[in-house]
Structure 1
Amino acid sequence: MKKWSLLALASALLLGCGSNDAEDAIVDTVGLNIDSLSSQQKQDYAQISTDINTLILFIAGQCFEAESERNPNMEITGFTCNIADHKEAVSQTQFSSITLNSGMLDVNRSSQTEFKIQTKDNVKFHAASISDGTLNYRLVDDNAIQFIINETGTDETGTDSASFRGFFRDDKTSDVTYWTVESLGTTPFSYYEDTNNQHSWLANGTAKITGKDDKTFDWITTAIGEVELPLTE
């Protein structure tokens, strides 16, 4: 059973409202076969899974700036962002090639410095290093990107921070694949943009991918956002 029909069925059976039980059941049953991946393939999946969060953060920031310019006196508590409106301004990531296609982001601001980013519609993108099809990134229920601005810091210090959990679907030409990705530990990723907004990256964090049969692998990112797998797996 392909695409979201499997998710809808699992959701109905598990009544996982407000949680990710249905998604976890899908991944456990028909998820990415991690045991079959080479080290290079793991590197590619980890880099893409990290970098799509980076690009979503960049676009959410662009959308926030646009909302603020339209009404600088408005107390923004929540707004919707259409990725298509910001595709021309999108930054690039340095270690993977991602083409963003479409998607709607719901951005909720709980304080002056704290933001929660979720998906009104799935973010659709292409990443040739891991798929010949369309990739979908879903951020609903317990899935979200959490972003905190450090008001005393600057872009150069990398003190703005991010954590995330999300659900991927790969609509490749055969055997639709699912996996989840989540950041780990008490220390979140540091979010950076270069001074001309051409590149953005998530540095010095730890995350993991979960696939079929609850198999996982984790990684760290370096100060420049490059994924490094553990020396022993």
Structure 2
Amino acid sequence: MKKWSLLALASALLLGCGSNDAEDAIVETVGLNIDSLSSQQKQNYAQISTDINTLIIYIGGQCFTAESERNSNIALTGFTCNIADHKDAVSQTQFSSISLISGTLDITRSSETDFKIQTKDNVKFHAASISDGTLNYRLVDDNAIHFIVNETGSDSASFRGFFRDDKTVDVTYWTAESLGTTPFDYDEDTNSQHSWLANSTAKITGKDDKTFNWRTSATGEVELPLTE
């Protein structure tokens, strides 16, 4: 059995522990080989990592709207969202193609404007530009999407999450997280056909703790390179 197969098996056991430290150790050992990526591949990974967060936020909003319609006095509490109930109506991202498969979101509303999105079940999706397999996005413990509704301007979001790519050759892992004190602007067009995360920076961490950073434009397009 190949070494990566043994490590992947160990990672499956570690994931059951709910430890971000365990996830970070997996990424450092069998993570994405950043040094081997071309500029275009980095662009693709960064765009997918940004856009999957965009789609999750959009679905979270659809879930909150549906929950509010069922309960007009919805309290500051948590509720659950099944991606299958909303993926057919999901908005599209402009710079990458993502097919959502399944997943369950746990959404905590801590104030009138603040939301925290995590995953009860990993979000499963396919993104042909980076993989021939199923990708899994995990948001538990310290991993989460934080979303704030701003009445005076663009809503804002920050994120940290753990990716697993079940491709046919060598399963790989990476983490993606927003950087700095300035969150991303979250925007939708007027008919909600597109949504995007704009005007901030993030990074991917892969094998041997190697990283690369990027910035998104006002329209949500990844811009490389960014000085590291």
Work out whether the TM-score is over 0.5.
yes
Aligned position for 2:88: 88
Give the unaligned 5+ runs of structure 1.
none
Distance 1:125 1:36 in 2: 24
Q: Check conservation: 2:7, 2:30, Cα contact below 8 A.
A: no
Give the deviation of 1:87 after TM superposition. Answer: 1.1
Residue 228 of structure 1 pairs with residue 218 of structure 2:
no
Please identify runs of 4+ aligned residues in structure 1 that moved more than 3 A.
Answer: 1-5, 8-12
Q: Check conservation: 2:138, 2:161, Cα contact below 8 A.
A: yes
Aligned position for 2:111: 111
Q: Check conservation: 1:32, 1:178, Cα contact below 8 A.
A: yes
Give the unaligned 5+ runs of structure 2.
none
Distance 1:144 1:134 in 2: 21
Distance 2:206 2:73 in 1: 45
Aligned position for 1:165: 160
Q: Check conservation: 1:179, 1:211, Cα contact below 8 A.
A: yes
Give the deviation of 1:76 after TM superposition. Answer: 4.3
Distance 2:118 2:185 in 1: 19
Distance 2:89 2:174 in 1: 29
Distance 1:123 1:4, change over 3 A: farther
Aligned position for 1:181: 176
Residue correspondences, number: 224
Listed one character per residue, the Cα deviations across residues 107-133 of structure 1 (whole Å, up to 9, x for unaligned) are: 000000000000000000000000000
Give the deviation of 1:88 after TM superposition. Answer: 1.4
Q: Check conservation: 2:8, 2:171, Cα contact below 8 A.
A: no
Q: Check conservation: 2:78, 2:106, Cα contact below 8 A.
A: yes
Give the deviation of 1:11 after TM superposition. Answer: 6.0
2:142 aligned counterpart, secondary structure: coil
Listed one character per residue, the Cα deviations across residues 111-159 of structure 1 (whole Å, up to 9, x for unaligned) are: 00000000000000000000000000000011000001112x2xxx42x
Aligned position for 1:29: 29
Distance 2:101 2:14 in 1: 27
Residue 204 of structure 1 pairs with residue 199 of structure 2:
yes
Listed one character per residue, the Cα deviations across residues 152-173 of structure 1 (whole Å, up to 9, x for unaligned) are: x2xxx42x10000000000001
Residue 142 of structure 1 pairs with residue 142 of structure 2:
yes
2:219 aligned counterpart, secondary structure: coil
Distance 1:2 1:197, change over 3 A: farther
Distance 1:4 1:123, change over 3 A: farther
2:120 aligned counterpart, secondary structure: strand
Aligned position for 2:122: 122
